[in-house]
Chains A and B, each alone.
Chain A
Amino acid sequence: MSALQERQELLHHIRDAVVDYDEEVTVELCSNAIQVGLDAYDVVANGLALGMEEVGQLYEQKEYFVPEVLMCSDAFYAGLQHLKPHIRSDAATGSGQVIIGTVEGDVHDIGKNLVKLMLEAAGFVVHDLGKDVPLDKFVQEQQRTGADIIALSALMTTSMLAIPVVIEKMRAVNPNVKILIGGAPVSQESVDLYGADGYAETAARAVDEARRLLDLPYQE
C-alpha cells in the first residue's frame, strides 16, 4: 500500500470510529496515525473533524439524537486529546476564538453544547461559559481572551431578550467583535432586530456562519 493510500484509509477509519462513537478505537487509530508519521493536524482536520461533520448531518436527519451525538463527541475529544501534543504550533491555521454560552436565565444547554462541539471540531478555539451566564461575563471573557466571536444561545423568548443587552454591552467596549446567535426562538430576523452579525439554525451550519463572519475560507 502506498503511503498516500495508507493515509486515506486511516483517516477514513478514524472518521468512522467517531461516527460509531467508538472511543477506544478512535484513540487507537489516532495513535497509529502518529506512529506511521501522519501529521497530527491533518488527522484532526481530515479524520476526526470529518467524523463530527457527518455526525452533525445524522443529527439533522434524525438518524442520531442527542445521546448518540454526545457519545461521538466523547470519541472526538478523546482522539483530539491524544493528538494535541503532536500538533505543530504553526499547523493550526488559527480559525479564530469563540466565546460561547447560554444566556442568563436559561439553562437549556444541549444545543449550545452541540454548537461548541462542531466549532471545536472545525478548529475554532472555544471558551465555554456554560449556561445561565450573567451577561457581563461574556464581555469580561472577550476582554480577557480577545476572542473574535461571541456565540449566544437562548431557548426561550424570555431569555432571548438578553441577547440585545449583551450586544449593546459588547459594542460599547469593542464594536468589532462578531456576535453569532442561535437557539429555537432565534431567527434570521433576530439578527437585524438585535444588531447581531450572524445566525444559524443548526450546529453544523453554525460553523459555516462563524467562518463567514471571520472571512475564513469554507472547507472543501
Chain B
Amino acid sequence: MAMPSPPRQETMAPHERMGAIMMGQKPDRVPFSPFIFGFCAKNVGLPVSTVYEDAEKSFFAQLRTAEMYGYDGAPLYGYASYGGWEFGGDIKMPRSRWEQAPVVAHYPVESEEDVDRLELPDVERAGSLPISMTFSRLQEKFGMPITVQLVGVVTLVGELCSVDRMCRWMIKRPELVHKLMRKAVDHLVDVAKLWVDTFPVERMQPFVGDATSANQVISPKQFEEFALPYQKEVHEKVLDMGVMSMFNHICGEQNLNLPFWRQIPHGRDGVPGILSFGHEVDLTTAIEMFGEDNIIAGNVEPRLIQNGTPEEVFAACVACLEKGKQAPNYRYMLMAGCEVPVEAPPYNLFTMRKAVMEHGFYD
C-alpha cells in the first residue's frame, strides 16, 4: 500500500453538503449516502430486525454508523415488502442468520373476491406505520429530512396479492390489478396526509422504493398501463400537499421503464427530487435523462460491496464518481445500487468513503 497523502479537508457538515446540492450549489465534495439498513443494527451490536422493528434503536444505530463511517446520508425507515402487513396480512421479521429484511408471511389478497373486500388501513395504527411515525419524530427532533416510506405502487400491489398473482391478473384480469392500484394510491395518499398534518411539510422528503416494476419482472408496456398513471398520481398529490422533493429508489433493471419514470414529477418549483438507481442502469444515461431537474444517486453493485475486494469496490466507486461529477449543478451523490448487504465487510463500506475522500472533491 502506498504511503497515504494528507486527506483533503472537508469544509461542510453533512447537512450543509446535502443542502448545497439540493439548491444546485457547489459542495466541497460529492455527498455519500450508502443506502444502508440491517448493517447498521449489526454494526452497533443489535439484531438485524431491530432496524425495522424498533424506531428508536433503528434511528440511533443508523446515526452512529454514519458517524463511524463519515457518510452524509441521514437515517431512513422502510423496507421493500411494505403493504402486506399494513393491509391486514402478516409480516415476518428477519431473524435467522440468512435474512436481511422483513417479508410478507401471509398476503391480505389471496383470491379474486378478496380484492373488493380489501379495506384501506387505518394509517395511525396499521402495520409498520406507528414505527415509521416514531422514527419520523426523531428525524424531526434531530433536524433531519422527514422521510416517510411511500413504496412504489407495483411493489405495493405485489405485496398485497403476491407477485405471481399480480402478474397473472395483469393479463387475465387487468381490472383487478387496476382496482388494487386504486387502493394502493389511496392508501399512500392517506399516509402522506397523516405525515403532512403532523410535520412541517417543507422538511419532508418521502421515500419511494420500487423493485417489482423492474423489467426483470414486468414489461415496459405493463409499466405504462399499470404503474405510470398511478405512480404519477401519488407523486402529483403528494407534491400538491406542499412536499417539495421525493426520494426514489428505482430498483433493478429499469432501462425500458425510464421514459415513463421521466413523466412522473419528483420535485417542484425548481427543487430537485432524488433518483437512486441500481447498477443495471448506467449513471450517464440516468444523468442525461433525469439530471436536469433531479439529483442522481447510485449505483455501486451491492454484490461487489459484499464479495468484492477493497480494490474492486474502490474502482467501482471511482467509476461512479467520474460519471456522477458530470451531472449538472453538482447534483450527484454516491450510493449503493440497492441496500448495502448486511454481510458486507466493514472495510468495503469504509472503502466507499475513502473513494469519496480521494476522488469526490470538486476543485
Contact = CB atoms under 8 A, between A and B. Distances in A.
B167 A66 contact: yes
A47 B71 CA distance: 58
Interface string A137-173: 0000000000000000000111101100000000000
A68 B215 contact: no
Contact of B217 (A65, A71, A132, A184): A65
Contacts of B216: 66, 110
B168 A161 contact: no
A96 interface: no
A74 B77 CA distance: 38
Given A21-B171, A158-B98, A67 B219 contact: yes
Interface stretch (B18-26, B118-126, B302-310, B319-327): B302-310
A185 B163 contact: no
A70 B164 contact: yes
A62 B342 CA distance: 32
A192 B164 CA distance: 33
Contacts of A110: 163-164, 216-217
B133 to A, nearest CB: 26
Contacts of A107: 81, 103-104
A71 B171 contact: yes
Interface residues of A, number: 26
A65 B343 contact: no
Nearest to A64: B219
B100 interface: yes
A62 B256 CA distance: 10
Nearest to A62: B215
A104 interface: yes
Contacts of B92: 132
B218 interface: yes
A115 B97 CA distance: 26
Contact of A105 (B81, B100, B307): B100
A181 to B, nearest CB: 15
Given A110-B217, A156-B341, A67 B98 contact: no
A97 interface: no
A88 to B, nearest CB: 33
A159 B342 CA distance: 10
A66 B96 contact: no
A81 B272 CA distance: 55
A104 B99 contact: yes
Contacts of A62: 215, 219, 256
A105 B100 CA distance: 7
Interface string A157-200: 11101100000000000000000000011000000000000000
A106 interface: yes
B170 interface: yes
A74 B341 contact: no
Given A65-B215, A107-B103, A70 B168 contact: yes
A26 interface: no
Contacts of A40: none
A110 B217 CA distance: 8
A71 B168 contact: yes
Given A104-B99, A105-B98, 16 more contacts: A64-B219, A66-B163, A67-B168, A70-B168, A104-B98, A105-B96, A110-B217, A113-B164, A132-B103, A157-B302, A158-B99, A158-B100, A159-B98, A159-B99, A161-B98, A185-B307
Interface of A: 21, 62, 64-68, 70-71, 74, 103-107, 110, 113, 132, 156-159, 161-162, 184-185
Interface of B: 81, 92, 94, 96-100, 103-104, 163-164, 167-168, 170-172, 215-219, 222, 256, 302-303, 306-307, 341-343
10 contacts: A65-B222, A66-B167, A66-B218, A70-B167, A71-B172, A103-B98, A105-B98, A107-B103, A113-B164, A158-B342
